[in-house]
Structure 1
Amino acid sequence: MGEKINYLKSMPSLVIGDLVAKLPIVQGGMGVGISLSTLASAVAKEGGIGVISAVGTGMEEKDLGTNFLEANRRALRNEIRKAKAQTSGIIGVNIMVALSDYKEIVKVSVEEGVDIIFSGAGLPMELPNLVDKQSKTKLVPIVSSARAASIISRRWIEKYNYVPDAFVVEGPMAGGHLGFKEEQIYDSNYSLEKIVPEVLDEIKKYETKHDVNIPVIVGGGIFSGADINKFIKMGASGVQMGTRFVATYECDASMEFKQSYIDCKEEDIVIIKSPVGLPGRAIRNRFIDDAKNDLKHPFNCPFKCIQTCDYKKSPYCISLALFNAKKGNLKNGFVFAGQNAHKITKLLSVKDLIESLKEEYSIELTGI
């Protein structure tokens, strides 16, 4: 038993500047309302990095219909405070560049002292300019290519004298919105195994030139401890995992949402055309089929929350659809999920899930 305990300690820590996570696991930010304070704080307590999604946090606020943007900011502020009250671990916020109130959401996150801002769904070119220079909040872009990582690095360094604190490289097997064209998703030339070495090589140039360490965190289809081991051997400093944390007791979604992961089969996981202009990966249901068969029609947008959403042509409001699913109303919504969601067979606690990942990692590392 003593030997096993030693092996389980072999998973490395994740260092981002002066932040040290005991485990190299970042829980992916999942909206609308899937990863809020309960899930994020549970992951942070276990030594990972817990992440609150800033998308649609205000969906349960009473003034949502009349004051959508302010309701979101208020709710996000409350979620950050609740998470920080529950743990002294590392708490981040995932903020989509495409949000209509992106700048204000960044400001709220910094004011509340979040440890890290993860930012994707667009290139966060101006992010360092939105953060007070005295702030300790780390800034971590989410990218899908070496080119995007280089463009952001050059811009931040030249214009703001700011080297990115880390990068998340998200591959095409992720759940939700994807930073790839539909024809690239299953093309091996765009696989995570292909992209990661390219990003590492590109980031190395900036590390050498500026004498800094820029950790690369890998996400999109990471399912097991063996997967974690594989990408850390490849040179990554950590992994981002979203799908695995949905079927946990602490996940902020409804039991119906979680059960859809447990019940789904591989053939149920499909690529959809999202109203925000990006392909997305979801679990097929009647709502998705109706949208695909033109049985849903354009609506009067109540929120205007996403800059890229062409609501006059969209067959449904994605914010409402995702919120309905979060609450368990799958008749009027759908569930985003990663490609490996069908491998999930039961509900676990965050603690038990992380213990199993540590054990799998150790077995892969030691062969014992």
Structure 2
Amino acid sequence: MNLPPLRIGELISPIPIIQGGMGVGVSLSRLASSVANAGGIGIISGVQIGFREPDFETNNDDANVRGLKKEIRKARELSPTGILGVNLLVAINNYKDMVKAAVEEKIDIIISGAGLPTELPALVKGSGTKIAPIVSSGKAAALIAKVWQRKFDYLPDMVIVEGPEAGGHLGFSMEELQKEEKPDLFSIVKEVIEALKPFREASDKEIPVVAAGGIYDGNEIAKYLKIGAAGVQMATRFAATDECDAHIKYKEAYINAEEEDIVLVKSPVGMPGRAIRNDFIKKLELDNIPITKCYNCLKPCDPGKSPYCISTALINAVIGDVDNGLIFVGQNAHKLKKIIPVKELMKELVNETLIALG
């Protein structure tokens, strides 16, 4: 018995698992191609992807476009037939250039969150690249479908629903996340499936809904498949793999994290995030960390008022300076006990899901 494949138009992923984009530099060509080769969908994170380029500090936009193209090419060399995508934040300043670069490199899919990608269909017009917004409510899913349909006669090729237990930036307010009665992914996924139903019926276009945020094992994957999700997106599990593009110290921070170490933090982007409480976070709890260099990378960030530079913090973490870095994690990262190959992880998740589906 096999799992139902994830179909996005003519793209067919044999295993309905998308590896979530993790930036800066945590999911690049090595991880994405390994996941694609194992039958899932591999995602390169586009945020500050040019951090290894020599002119990154002086020519940030061009360095990122160049870095993105290089990683897509590398991933395609490593996985000639697998499904590869990029995750691009709407909040980045050179969003349009990055989308165009991904399309030029014939990326299979662009996943976009941290804001509503209202103009995305225009940027991929005439290409074979699929587009998928990330939403956190049925209302947002219906809004983006309505706007795209009205302005571009286009409906999303897939919608990713990210719940409150995800790592990185969250599409909820700090107040919502700290309430006793928190929003829960299960209810939101059902709400999004329902909200997209009229669009599917009126257009005859399938819009697969994918659940994301804190999903840890095959039992949970089965739970979402049973309510009509077409697949799941998982990031944290893939951070603790041999092929993950981050430094070994970054991966070890995941393995060593206890449940009480996983905390909500305020990000300069204006959204809450979930991270490991390390020396960097402890310093932040006492005072702001001065910004010595601004990359002008994110629209909502004001360096004069920001508590720290998120680019510097994320780059420090991925290159192994974990005490001075920000390590984004999903709520269930404390369950991780070892670093394993992607192939082994995928096999384990598929077997658990099959058993849970009975």
Cα deviation 1:205-244 (Å, max 9, x = unaligned): 1000111110000100110011100000011000000000
CA–CA distance in 1 between the matches of 2:284 and 2:167? 19
Matched, 1:76 2:68: yes
The AA in structure 2 aligned to 1:173 is E
* Counterpart for residue 3 of structure 1: none
Deviating more after overlay: 239-248 vs 307-316: 307-316
Matched, 1:176 2:168: yes
Matched, 1:13 2:5: yes
The AA in structure 2 aligned to 1:163 is L
Aligned partner (choices 316, 320, 340) of residue 328 of structure 1: 320
**3-state SS, counterpart of residue 139 of structure 1:** strand
Matched, 1:248 2:274: no
CA–CA distance in 2 between the matches of 1:308 and 1:226? 38
The AA in structure 2 aligned to 1:266 is E
Q: Is 1:300–1:312's contact at 8 Å kept on the other side of the alignment?
A: no
RMSD: 1.0
**3-state SS, counterpart of residue 169 of structure 1:** strand
**3-state SS, counterpart of residue 270 of structure 1:** strand
Deviation at 1:189, TM superposition (A): 5.2
TM-score normalised to structure 2 length: 0.98
CA–CA distance in 2 between the matches of 1:175 and 1:317? 18
Matched, 1:141 2:133: yes
Matched, 1:41 2:42: no
CA–CA distance in 2 between the matches of 1:296 and 1:20? 46
Superposed counterparts of 1:1-368, under 5 Å: 6=1, 9=2, 11-87=3-79, 88-132=81-125, 134-185=126-177, 187=179, 188=181, 190-294=183-287, 296-297=289-290, 299-366=291-358
Q: Is 1:184–1:190's contact at 8 Å kept on the other side of the alignment?
A: yes
CA–CA distance in 1 between the matches of 2:28 and 2:222? 27
Is the alpha carbon distance of 1:186 and 1:22 closer, same or farther for their aligned partners in structure 2, counting shifts above 3 Å?
A: farther
Deviation at 1:44, TM superposition (A): 0.2
Q: Is 1:172–1:186's contact at 8 Å kept on the other side of the alignment?
A: no
Deviation at 1:332, TM superposition (A): 1.7
Q: Is 2:134–2:160's contact at 8 Å kept on the other side of the alignment?
A: yes
Deviation at 1:178, TM superposition (A): 0.3
The AA in structure 2 aligned to 1:267 is E
Deviation at 1:293, TM superposition (A): 1.1
Is the alpha carbon distance of 1:261 and 1:189 closer, same or farther for their aligned partners in structure 2, counting shifts above 3 Å?
A: closer
The percentage of aligned residue pairs carrying the same residue is: 52
**3-state SS, counterpart of residue 229 of structure 2:** coil
Contiguous gaps of at least 5 residues in structure 1? 1-5
Contiguous gaps of at least 5 residues in structure 2? none
Deviation at 1:190, TM superposition (A): 1.4
User: What number of residue pairs does the alignment pair up?
Assistant: 356
Is the alpha carbon distance of 1:208 and 1:96 closer, same or farther for their aligned partners in structure 2, counting shifts above 3 Å?
A: same
Deviation at 1:302, TM superposition (A): 2.6
**3-state SS, counterpart of residue 225 of structure 2:** helix
CA–CA distance in 2 between the matches of 1:345 and 1:186? 27
The AA in structure 2 aligned to 1:43 is V
The AA in structure 2 aligned to 1:331 is D
Deviation at 1:301, TM superposition (A): 3.9
Deviation at 1:58, TM superposition (A): 0.6
Deviation at 1:339, TM superposition (A): 0.1
Runs of 4+ that moved beyond 4 A: none
